[in-house]
Amino acid sequence: MQVPAMQLASQLQRGLKSLYTLHGDEPLLIQEAADAIRAAAREQGYTERTVHTVAGAHFDWGEVLASGGSMSLFADKQLIEIRVPSGKPGKDGSQVLQQMAEAARDNHSTLTLVSLPRLDAATLKGAWFAALDSFGVTVKVDPVERQALPAWIAQRLQQQGQRVAAGEEGQRTLQFFADRVEGNLLAAHQEIQKLGLLHPAGELSL
């Protein structure tokens, strides 16, 4: 089931699923989506977390499969994160991901979170990705285009109680901000956080 990134929060409020897949090339937005899923999982009692980062041709997928099938001595529920930076799990990985996706239907004691980069059309049609999409929630994280960046900055400022002036002056301020961060959302996020620390809530001038 595909869910737009902006609707992930409302989906989590309606009920936590056993399988989530995030894919996209925007590190900040991927991180925030993963954080939202982790927070919802903690609230639901998924207190143990295991992270597997797939690196190299000799990665042990058997270990991933074993962790998905084992229960902890200390927790009733566990969160398993599988990160595939290359977006190419390989033959063994494809089989394991399909197996874990199918198991997610009936296994409510394990929540699986798969993180992937932006995928090409051929990969999106692959059997392993189709399984993740069929049995869980798939979230495509799109980049914020340059023309949309001022509005994105304004929204983030609003979340911390700050805003720019109304009208043309405010638009100039947002354009100035967007020009300086050059489309880097992580840099923009850091600068917005600094403004929250350095200045009180309310209007920010250029």
Token couple for 127: 């059997």
Place of tokens 């099938």: 69
167-197 burial, b at 16+ Cβ within 10 Å, e below that, comes to: eeebeebbeebbeebeeebeebbebbeeebe
Beta bridge partners of 77: 46
Query: Quick one: pLDDT band at residue 72, thresholds 50, 70, 90?
Result: low
* CA-CA-CA-CA torsion sign (183, 186, 190, 195): positive
Task: List pLDDT tens digits, range 130-187.
Answer: 999 999 999 999 999 999 999 999 999 999 999 999 999 999 999 999 999 988 999 9
* CATH fold for the domain made of 146-204: Helicase, Ruva Protein; domain 3 (1.10.8)
Neighbouring CB atoms inside 10 A of 52's CB total 18
Backbone angles phi, psi at 52, to 5 degrees: -120, 120
pTM: 0.87
Query: Quick one: pLDDT band at residue 42, thresholds 50, 70, 90?
Result: very high
β 110-116/19-24 pair status: parallel
Domain ranges of the chain: 5-141, 146-204
Lowest average pLDDT, out of 36-40, 69-73, 114-118, 165-169, goes to 69-73
Query: Given 3.40.50.720, 3.40.50.2000, 3.40.228.10, 3.40.50.300, which CATH number is that of 5-141?
Result: 3.40.50.300
Backbone angles phi, psi at 138, to 5 degrees: -110, 130
CA 145 to chain centre: 18
The per-type count for the chain, helices as H runs and strands as E runs, is 9, 7
